[in-house]
Amino acid sequence: MLINVPETVVADALRGMAAAHPELTVDVERRVVVRGDAPVAGKVALVSGGGSGHEPLHCGFVGPGMLDAACPGEVFTSPVPDQMVRAAAAVDSGEGVLFVVKNYTGDVLNFRMAQELAEDEGVRLATVLVDDDVAVSDSLHTAGRRGTGATLFVEKIAGAAAEEGAPLERVESLARQVVGSCRSFGVALGACSTPAKGGPTFDLPPGELELGIGIHGEPGRERRPMMTSGEIADFAVGAVLEDLRPSGPVIALVNGMGGTPLLELYGFGAEVHRVLSERGVPVVRTLVGNYVTSLDMAGCSVTLCRADEELLRLWDAPVRTPGLRWGR
């Protein structure tokens, strides 16, 4: 691994982020990343966070049009409440703060505690829980569905609304609408390796794949012999559509888990479009790349978001972050 020692991986990455992105304020010691112009007067602030190892989620999505701050935990470990309270205080302009929380037990508990502490300090807060993964109803790390690719959609669309000056109640409502409009399914072709362990986190024999994994390598629905890209798309998109049941157009995220090259992801994206076309589902936007990753895991996930006119407009709104950038 391209590291010094496992104990400093997150701190080293934050130091590198600070050097590469001077438009951000990166507190390496306290583990908080904040947009450089925060707090923005008259603007609702968005704060998210989670374990490191999923980059560019979440720190890579800090900036105009998305998050105001992010709290990185240790690898695959929730950040602590003090980080979240510190982030909320740094970005609160008086218009309120929205916590975006993936449905993993540690994240849920720590963000809940942070909300109580921040509210005691006078910050007006709302929380939205992301639980879009259709693969399993409960997992090793959650009660209920896991939060995965829909997190990007929530942060982008709610972030755009906040950038336009929408009040906290509206930003929260849009975020909840996005969660209800998104479903995801992930596939592992190979296990990821954590810096602490230095090797695979689970056993996946050569020639097999795991259908329905989470972003920490949690087991999925079933293990099968290796399938073609088209067969995986048939299975994954079918599972998403069975739950989502869109009656109109969708935005598609074809997401790499960290160890699959873009050449393969674009090919898989073509198969995703084929399946959606065969099912009569129009695709109005497609994003392909590594956005919600699991270290060096080989594999991919598909997220579909039902796109009404307002959600599509906010999706297209300008964004300027290290991990996502378009418009102005």
Query: Which DSSP symbol is given to 59?
Result: G
Nearest to 223 by CA among 238, 209, 206: 209
Query: Which DSSP symbol is given to 61?
Result: G
Query: Which DSSP symbol is given to 5?
Result: -
Helices 229-244 and 262-278, packing angle to 10 deg: 50
Could you tell me where the beta strands, DSSP code E, fall in 76-231?
A: 97-102, 125-130, 182-190, 208-211, 222-225
Q: Is 21 a catalytic residue?
A: no
> Hey, what are 64's tokens?
């105009």
**Active-site residue, selected from the candidate residues 21, 58, 141, 216:** 216
Nearest to 75 by CA among 166, 14, 145, 23: 14
> Hey, what are 321's tokens?
């972050």
**Active-site residue, selected from the candidate residues 21, 54, 58, 141:** 54
Nearest to 141 by CA among 204, 54, 69: 54
Give the phi and the psi of residue 299 in degrees, each rounded to 5: 155, -170
Q: Is 141 a catalytic residue?
A: no
Q: Scan for tokens 């669309």, then name that residue.
A: 157
> Hey, what are 133's tokens?
């993964």
CA dist 270 and 254 (Å) reads 10
197: helix, strand or coil: coil
- Supply the residues annotated as catalytic: 54, 216
